[in-house]
Structure 1
């Protein structure tokens, strides 16, 4: 054993320098029998060896606290005993030792671990059960961390390994019974799998932006919002036992293909979103392209857990099939574009109810809301009309402002506003007060229609232009001068008498009764418009 220098420093003027012999029990011996014992209450006694620098601590000087590493090894094993005194604390800042790649702590309790900004790649912490004791955040070198197999409950507190971009593996204790992962605890790490076969609580964004994460297996877990978000490589999730998912627990995982629900009881709240390749449940297709519907064994589960989802593969397949079905049942080749849009407008109003009691719910703000919920709000109305019109060959776009959503469609060579929400009066009445309106008419109405901008709510609406169309003319503006007046009535009269022609592109402006033809009934309606405007 190397001798160590032992210096006792007190607040007074006296300073003793001793070279003691330390007994196996941690007590001091080798002094004269009549030498009074030295107590180390409060510490301050420096110990130095070839590898370590420490101070003695404890009421009787029975502990050694390590403060500095003086060696040059890449793989460092922290001793459980230093000069036969039990090591109780190690506050060495490993970033001061860039050559150290691996640190193994003994199976004893420590007060603190200083790993942040160091070059340590492999860390073994057998005693740790609560990662709040460790400072890891932002460490870009740490690759592997391990814990003693005997640990029963393991807790990773918020931000514990956040931005540890090289961290690729956490060796879980074989005997653990429960794990708790705090918010952002492993966000932006290089983990390739998460496999918790024991109960777990996973906090908000705990594994967000884990770019290499491919597989998640959870058993009896509570999963908070965005726990697995922006995991660009995630391909499969396996649930078993009781699984409680929160809002957007699984979000923006573009490569997710399958969820395994074997022996799982799932509760969720709008938990899946923006997973466009998710086509399978239990490794089987969830949608049947032959029937245009979900596979019967999964249909109830999907309606319960995915009715609020957007950009989910099998939900998008279902919406697309339902859109085609509605168009096929309501649109014929001999219809004019005005008739087509009116038929689709009417179908929505007949088959949808506004949901005034739950306006902010995610289930009312997605593409599937009309088909999977039968109630929705303005965004749901506008989204489905957008998809229906596009499938029917009508140019259309979705527009919104902070409080309302509706559509703009192109009929002939002119654009018009259509608001199915405000035209859906009740189950037995359909209005056309907000059907084929100009920009000027919308701005004059003000309120919820005072302003608008084009928006692509999901990938199903990718057909839209990025430019908001201009709805320049009102219905009845036959001469396209920007105003509806007597001259338009004269032009319609001359057209009906065969004395003047109207281009096919302008014909929608004359179809005021939305019948698909320009006839005397349109003239009567135009006269009423002029009389009402005069009043």
Structure 2
């Protein structure tokens, strides 16, 4: 039992350190070894030319590059087997490298931190859209890098991958979706350039990166993105009520972490992927000894969503309050859409018009039928028209009915 606990602790430490796929190599079992020292076999290493490799499972990873070439070409194979990635310090601090060419099966990119003269990255095109990962800190501090062309097959650009690449002005993404966040490009000119759109939100492609506005009692996320990036609103106070509309399929790591005023998050998509620590409202703390911020993983507010949704599962897992969201158009939650719902929508609209009421995130999710971001007579009229359609034995859903009417 003691050996198993030691194994678990070491394995957990390796995983939390962000090693590449296959970088944890285990040999032997607890039954055939007499001590924890012999439980792990040293991974095989091999040096060819300026490269030292380490073997993990069936593949080789660059452990260290000791060369002085300006234009580095990483070999495709070693001893007939693929070179698949690099360890976290493989090229770190090399001041000779100006360009690097990656082999076609190299799908775990890491280890170029503080290569201050690196100007050009030549990636292969992969055959599937979820192949390559650019790891944490991979190119952090590469201050001569001005342009990055991410190839087809890029799956994830992890946090801080291009942090403090101060000359980076152009980033080109493939046509398919890529996971990334504002932290991936923190401290770059490219990230700053995205703010020029002047809107309340800063996004790129289909990812919401962060907000320019720091005080929004009710915040409705935009309907032209599918993902909320990691740490998008982390430690942002004065956000109280958030509507995550149905177009959003993913809420990234720590997206709403340590939002100290956060009272409720309404999540419309019943299958939305919700990553760890994404919604918390405890205040962040400063660890003065280690000079770092400790973010909260406590949430005392409310999660609102449909029954059986991932939102409900999140509420169960965190022990917070769960509020059931009524279907669009069914404002009174009686299980049908009829004239009563139209009347309730019209009543709320009247009270909003006279400033005697404010539509909250849940109201908007249930009663903004046409999805224009406000509740008004058009929504009430649409519900009434749909009720008439149903009375004539219509079979379309409300969303299908609205789409057909456009």
Normalising by the residue count of structure 2, what TM-score does the alignment of the two structures yield? Answer: 0.44
Normalising by the residue count of structure 1, what TM-score does the alignment of the two structures yield? Answer: 0.35
Is the radius of gyration larger for structure 1 or structure 2?
Answer: 1
Higher RCO (Cα < 8 Å, 6 or more apart): 2
